[in-house]
Every structure is written in structure tokens, then in C-alpha cells.
Amino acid sequence: MIDLDLDYGRLPAEDADHFHRLDAHLVATEPLMTTLENVEATLEAKAMMCAFGPAGYGKTMSVNSALRKLAPEHTYRLELRSGPTPRDIRHGLFHALGLPGEPPTRPIEFDTLLKETLAQTFRVLVCDEAQWMGRSSFEYWRHLWDDRKTDIAVIFAGGDNCYKVLKREPMLASRMFIWQEFQRMPENEVVANVPAFHSLWQSAAPQRIRDIDRAAAHGNFRNWATLTKHMLNGMKKKGLSEVTDDLVQWVYSKVAGM
């Protein structure tokens, strides 16, 4: 199902990228810069790209950040859940593209409308949470992209399952221009990047950051956002001005090792 709202299909504001809407900074990590390079190449080629990896490693944030720089007015996002069918994708595109009237009831008419719309001007179609899609849904995207009149680039962002589904289907896999895998952030990068991520950590000792990463964050920016939120709440509750050992243990009691 697709969550319908007035902003559906548009790039979110930058402050909405951070988990828990944490007041944090976008850090120019190596994956972020690689995504910018890969998205730019995909748009120039009007091709298809797959950004994949476990949850919390920055796929969506990196893709959104790149598209804000490269094609903010030409980007249309779909976030699909619960095993979407081609019908769900049709309706999602209808809503994201802001098409007038009621959606056509017959698939062939619906496809004609979408293809005609996607032939009018260049658009970037982003399918977030692509791990929920099966073969038929990926095939539908291929059907739209293969049409000789449509003027589109397609970016999939999702978990490992979207990579596995695509790789099992040679006709789909062969059309991917770029594959980008997101992985756990190495410890040395955690120590370098976390102080820039949020002011809470600017004065933290590198060893404290290492210890927290080993115990709970595991090189995952989403985990760091959750831990930071708990730390800030705990400091406010306990009247603290800095991160202490007791506060760290208090936070650990809430996250169960994540």
C-alpha cells in the first residue's frame, strides 16, 4: 500500500532525512560521495541504478542528497510496502506525477497514460524500499524504461532482497547501469564522522565513540541517530551537560545492543 499525502512523490526536506528527525548534519562520507557520482552517471545515461544493503546504512539519505543537488525538480519518489504489485506501482506513479482526474481502470489504458506522461520531459523515478518488490514489479519498471518513447532514469533503493531478485533475472540485471552496495561503516570512519554528525559527540573521546560503536551502533548511522536521541533525552532528564559512563549504561538499557 502507498501512503497518500500532498507531498507524496517529492523529495523530502533535508531535515527529514535523519532518523527521529534528529537535528544532525549530513556528513560527506565516502558512500555519500560515491552515491553522488553514481547518481550523476545514471542520470546522464538515462539508465537504471540499484542502491542496496542492510537497513540503516544510508541508502535513502544518500540518494535523496544526490538528487537534491542534481535533479530536484525532475525527481519523483515512490515508497512501496507490503509486496507491491504492478497495479500498486501504476497508482503510485499516477499520484507521484500529480496526474489529474481518476486513474484509468484498465491496465492497458493506464500504461498508455503513464508512457505518454513519461515521454513529455525527462524524469527521475526513485523506488524506495525496493526490497518489497518481486519479479513482476521489477519487470513493470523495466517495461516502462524499455519503451522507446519514455524519457526516464530509474533508481532503486532497498535491502539485500532487491539485489537478489534482480540478480536472479538476467533480463533485469543486465539493464542495471550501476550497482552500489552500502555496508557497515568501518570503525576508523565512525570515529572520524560521528563528531561531525552531531554536536553531542564533538568533545567525546575517540575511545568512547569506539566503545559505543562496538557495543551498540555497529557502524550503522541509524543506530547512531537512535543512541544520540536517547543520550540527549537522558542528559535533559538527568541535568547533565556531557556524556558520562552512567548515561551510556542508561542508554544501553533501552536499546538492548541494537
Confidence tier at 4 by pLDDT (50, 70, 90): very low
Interstrand relation of 48-52 and 75-79 (parallel, antiparallel or unpaired): unpaired
CB 36 within 8 A of CB 68: no
Q: Give me the residues paired with residue 180 across strands.
A: 51
- What is the pLDDT at residue 2? 43
- pLDDT-based confidence at residue 257 (cuts at 50, 70, 90): low
pLDDT more than 90, % of the chain: 79
pLDDT of amino acid 5:
56
Q: Which range has the top average pLDDT, 8-12, 71-75, 168-172?
A: 71-75
Q: Within a 10 A sphere around the Cβ of 242, how many other Cβ atoms? A: 10
Is the pLDDT at 3 greater than 70? The verdict is no
Looking at residue 245, what is its pLDDT? 96
Q: In percent, how much of the chain has pLDDT > 70?
A: 97
- Using the predicted structure, report yes or no on whether residue 15 has a pLDDT greater than 50: yes
Q: Within a 10 A sphere around the Cβ of 155, how many other Cβ atoms?
A: 27
Nearest residue to 165 via CA among 196, 149, 141: 141
What tens digit of pLDDT does each residue of 190-215 get? 999 999 999 999 999 999 999 999 99
Model confidence at 1, pLDDT cuts 50, 70, 90, reads: very low
Q: Does the pLDDT of residue 6 top 70, yes or no?
A: no
In 3-state terms, the chain is what percent helix, strand and coil (to 5)? 55, 10, 35
- What amino acid is encoded at 103 in this protein? P
Give DSSP secondary structure letters for 52-110.
E-STTSSHHHHHHHHHHHH-TTTEEEEE--SS--HHHHHHHHHHHTT--SPPPSSHHHH
For 145-172, what is the mean pLDDT? Answer: 91
Residue 50 main-chain phi, psi, to 5 deg:
-125, 115
Contact 185, 210 (CB under 8 A): no
Q: pTM for this one?
A: 0.91
In this predicted structure, the answer to whether residue 7 has a pLDDT above a threshold of 50 is yes
Contact indicator for 161, 154 with CB cutoff of 8 Å: no
- Is the pLDDT confidence value at 108 over 60? yes
Q: For residues 212 and 218, give the distance between their C-alpha atoms in angstroms, rounded to a whole number.
A: 8
**Is the pLDDT score of 44 beyond 80?**
yes
When pLDDT is averaged across residues 18-24 and rounded to a whole number, the result is 79
Q: Looking at residues 43-68, what average pLDDT do you find?
A: 95
Give residue 170's pLDDT band: very low, low, confident or very high (50, 70, 90).
Answer: confident
**Mean pLDDT in residue range 2-19:** 72
Q: What are phi and psi of 57, to 5 degrees?
A: -95, 5
Average confidence score pLDDT of the chain: 92
Pick the more confident residue, 16 or 207.
207
Average pLDDT of span 96-106: 95
pLDDT value, residue 168: 85
What is residue 179's three-state secondary structure? strand
Report the distance separating Cα 207 and Cα 199, nearest Å: 17
pLDDT at 171: 87
Per the CB < 8 A criterion, the answer to whether 157 and 126 are in contact is yes
Which distant-in-sequence residues (6+ apart) come within 8 Å of 233 by Cβ? none
Q: Calculate the alpha carbon distances from 146 to 78, 126, 156, 197 in Å.
A: 19, 16, 16, 40
